[in-house]
């Protein structure tokens, strides 16, 4: 399950991607909050994280605000999820980026819990890593290409 913070991050990125496609103007945080239906104070922290990650930039001055600086087709949903929420794996021993051996595990190769969760995690990660911000913008049902509704 994604957190509310990640949902707001994705919605803010979609707003900025739509604006870039429409006019290319930078948007003030109040406008992003209004369009994404996110609380402004909460959004400030999210936008700073997205800026540090290099997805968005900011402009000062009269026409200042935030703007998308990467192509929406290059922004992986998995990258955004990891940035905001941390590792995606349901168990630390399954994580590619934050692997840790489970404290109570004596043998990962025969661990039934790891085997079951590893199976569905593999399918999940393949799908999430193939989706981009552009998929969210263009298609309300991007998972249909995987045969899922």
> How confident is the model over 62-84, as pLDDT tens digits?
878 999 999 999 999 999 999 99
Whose tokens are 């026409």? That residue is 63
Tokens describing residue 98: 């934050």
Q: What rounded mean pLDDT belongs to the chain? A: 87
Question: If DSSP codes are grouped into helix, strand and coil, which group holds residue 53?
Answer: coil
Note down the domain range covering 113.
Answer: 76-131
Contact assessment for residue 109 and residue 115, using Cβ atoms and an 8 Å cutoff:
no
* pLDDT for 144 beyond 80: no
Whether 137 maps to a domain, the answer reads no
Q: From CA 135, how far away is CA 149, in angstroms rounded?
A: 15
H-helix or E-strand containing 58? strand 56-59
Same domain, 37 and 55: yes
Same domain, 22 and 46: yes
Instruction: Count how many domains the chain has.
Output: 2
pLDDT band at 27 (very low <50, low <70, confident <90, very high): very high
Name residue 56's beta-bridge partners.
68
* pLDDT for 148 beyond 60: no
Contact assessment for residue 9 and residue 52, using Cβ atoms and an 8 Å cutoff:
no
């Amino acid at each position: 399950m994604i957190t509310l913070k990640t949902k707001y991050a994705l919605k803010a990125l979609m707003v900025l991607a739509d604006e870039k496609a429409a006019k290319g103007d930078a948007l003030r945080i109040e406008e992003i909050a209004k369009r994404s239906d996110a609380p402004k104070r909460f959004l400030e922290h999210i936008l700073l994280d997205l800026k540090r990650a290099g997805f968005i930039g900011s402009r000062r001055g009269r026409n200042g605000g935030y703007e998308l600086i990467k192509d929406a087709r290059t922004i992986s949903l998995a990258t955004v999820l990891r940035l905001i929420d941390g590792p995606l794996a349901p168990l630390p021993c399954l994580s590619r980026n934050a692997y840790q051996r489970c404290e109570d595990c004596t043998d990962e190769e025969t661990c039934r819990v790891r085997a079951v969760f590893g199976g569905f995690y593999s399918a999940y990660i393949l799908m999430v890593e193939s989706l981009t911000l552009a998929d969210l913008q263009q298609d309300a049902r991007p998972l249909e290409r995987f045969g899922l509704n």
